[in-house]
């Protein structure tokens, strides 16, 4: 069935992309600022998906524009480039919107935000692209005929910066790296964790979930399957009473694995959660402990701590203590406090979240990874002094990057030989732990990617 989308939705998408591409606003900030207005759910969903898709495939889209135009992108007005990117994305990746509609609405945007001359140029480019029987296949075949080296060809094909392509291929090999990039270019599932106190079927009914979404998902880890719904989209779930009352929580499965299996919180334990915001892991740990024990959640952001405080108060949780502090120094904690377990959710490049945050793959370089890895090391170095003998130190990130993950842990273990990585962790999830490390690839569960390691203090 052919679906026609109102022009207003494209207007919204253009404004968001203009803020991101041309005014250097963070993508999520630009999305929130504009989508917070009075917009129909249909227009909001269309704009959200088109914006994320345009950013996700920007490098390939720019390649297509450069092949179709006699003028280089650097010589075009930034507004023209944004409208072209928006139009090219729709032609290449949307199969339910007719080409003539995409071209026509793009021309209208040009007339509104640029000038009539730009409209004629955009019309010519998009008509040329849409004239091919299979536009995306045609442009991919054109790319394959280019005399590019493999890193550049792969970079354009999957729309990842060339340095990152080289980095991942060097670590994973060509086939695995391509599998990773392809997976991260997809739309991720949303994982909805439910409080075990409520009836699963009743929750599904109240949330108006489809039958296939409400059933226990056998593809998820056994210890988490009953606690989660795996959804294609959130819909209106955040407006539900269940969400407001804290009986359902949006939390990616990779971080749930880190809490459930690596932290494995037990009733009565004292746990330190570093870089804790937005607080999902602390809340999950409290739930698993059945509220018995004590969690100290630390974050450097006063704004995030305040938001966590409001959530904890709203949910009636009494065993979480909040501290605003820098995890590399922990000046407010006091040297006399000792914990059974410490969970470090380290600041990272967030490369494992690209499917949800496509802008995460842009605007960084290798030096950023080294800087973030150094910060993680300093956090671990500080945290170790607050751990009791035989206590567990858990290191977790939402990135897939050996400089920020494996190399940080190896450096820490070499510097402090009284710590050792644990391999015998009953995870019941894939993959197997190797050298005490686990990489959670996005194609395992349709989730974010992540890294986890548990060390024991000897």
For the chain, the average pLDDT equals 92
Residue 1 has pLDDT above 60, yes or no: no
pLDDT tens sequence across 343-377 = 999 999 999 999 999 999 999 999 999 999 999 99
The Cβ-side half-sphere exposure at 189, using a 13 Å CA radius, reads 21
The per-type count for the chain, helices as H runs and strands as E runs, is: 21, 11
Encoded tokens for 269: 């334990």
Closest CA to 400 of 355, 435, 363: 355
Contact predicate 263/288, CB 8 Å: no
Residue 266 has pLDDT above 90, yes or no: yes
pLDDT tens sequence across 146-198 = 999 999 999 999 999 999 999 999 999 999 999 999 999 998 899 999 988 88
Q: Tell me the average pLDDT across 56-73.
A: 96
The one catalytic residue among 64, 275, 348, 398: 398
Query: Which of 142-146, 330-334, 400-404, 417-421 has the lowest average pLDDT?
Result: 330-334
pLDDT at position 219: 86
Encoded tokens for 132: 């091919």
382 assigned to active site:
no
Contact predicate 78/22, CB 8 Å: yes
* Number of other CB atoms surrounding residue 136 within 10 Å: 17
pTM higher than 0.85 for the full model? yes
pLDDT tens sequence across 7-31 = 589 999 999 999 999 999 999 999 9
pLDDT at position 3: 46
Q: Which residue has the higher pLDDT, 430 or 277?
A: 277
DSSP conformation class of 434:
B
Overall residue count recorded for the chain in this entry: 458
Residue ranges of alpha helices (H) inside 41-134 are: 41-56, 58-68, 78-93, 99-113, 116-130
pLDDT at position 428: 66
- For 332, counting Cβ atoms within 10 Å of its Cβ (0-12 exposed, 13-18 middle, 19+ buried), the class is exposed
The owner of tokens 């345009």 is 54
Contact predicate 263/394, CB 8 Å: yes
Q: How far does Cα 217 stand from its chain's mean position?
A: 22
Q: Which residue has the higher pLDDT, 400 or 197?
A: 400
CA distance 418 to 420: 7
pLDDT at position 33: 86
Report the DSSP pairing between strands 320-324 and 294-299.
parallel
With vertex at residue 93, the alpha carbon angle to CA 448 and CA 186, rounded to the nearest 5 degrees, is 10
pLDDT tens sequence across 279-317 = 999 999 999 998 899 999 999 999 999 999 988 888 888
Residue 5 has pLDDT above 50, yes or no: no
Contact predicate 242/206, CB 8 Å: yes
Q: Which residue has the higher pLDDT, 427 or 437?
A: 437
């Amino acid at each position: 069935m052919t679906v026609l989308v109102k022009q207003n939705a494209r207007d919204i998408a253009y404004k968001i992309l203009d803020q991101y591409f041309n005014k250097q606003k963070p993508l999520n900030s630009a999305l929130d600022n504009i989508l917070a207005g009075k917009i129909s759910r249909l227009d909001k969903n269309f704009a959200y998906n088109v914006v994320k898709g345009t950013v996700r495939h920007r490098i390939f889209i720019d390649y297509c524009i450069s092949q179709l135009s006699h003028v280089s992108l650097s010589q075009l007005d930034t507004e023209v480039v944004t409208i072209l990117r928006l139009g090219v994305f729709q032609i290449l990746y949307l199969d339910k919107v007719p080409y003539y509609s995409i071209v026509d609405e793009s021309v209208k945007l040009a007339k509104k935000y640029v000038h009539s001359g730009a409209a004629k140029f955009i019309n010519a480019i998009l008509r040329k692209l849409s004239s091919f029987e299979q536009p995306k296949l045609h442009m991919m075949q054109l790319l394959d005929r280019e005399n590019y080296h493999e890193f550049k060809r792969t970079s354009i094909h999957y729309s990842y910066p060339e340095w990152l392509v080289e980095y991942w291929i060097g670590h994973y090999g060509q086939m695995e790296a391509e599998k990773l990039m392809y997976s991260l270019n997809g739309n991720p599932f949303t994982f909805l964790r439910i409080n075990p106190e409520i009836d699963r079927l009743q929750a599904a009914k109240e949330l108006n979930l489809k039958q296939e979404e409400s059933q226990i998902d056998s593809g998820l880890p056994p210890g988490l399957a009953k606690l989660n719904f795996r959804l294609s989209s959130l819909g209106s779930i955040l407006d539900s009473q269940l969400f407001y009352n804290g009986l359902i929580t949006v939390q990616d499965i990779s971080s749930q694995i880190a809490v459930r299996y690596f932290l494995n919180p037990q009733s009565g334990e004292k746990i330190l959660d570093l870089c804790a915001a937005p607080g999902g892991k602390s809340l999950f740990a409290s739930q698993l402990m059945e509220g018995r024990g004590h969690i100290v959640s630390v974050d450097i952001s006063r704004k995030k701590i305040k938001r966590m405080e409001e959530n904890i108060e709203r949910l009636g949780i009494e065993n979480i203590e909040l501290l605003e502090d820098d995890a590399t120094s922990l000046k407010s904690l006091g040297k006399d406090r000792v914990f059974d377990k410490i969970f470090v959710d380290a600041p990272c490049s967030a490369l494992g979240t690209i499917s949800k945050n496509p802008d995460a793959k842009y605007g960084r370089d290798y030096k950023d990874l080294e800087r973030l890895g150094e910060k993680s090391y300093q956090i671990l170095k500080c945290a170790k002094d607050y751990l009791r003998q035989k206590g567990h130190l858990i290191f977790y990130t939402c990135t897939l990057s050996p400089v920020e993950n494996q190399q940080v842990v190896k450096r820490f273990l070499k510097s402090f030989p009284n710590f050792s990585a644990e391999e015998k962790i009953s995870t019941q999830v894939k993959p197997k732990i190797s050298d005490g490390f686990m990489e959670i690839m996005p194609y395992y569960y349709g989730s974010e990617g992540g890294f986890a390691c548990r060390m024991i203090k000897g």
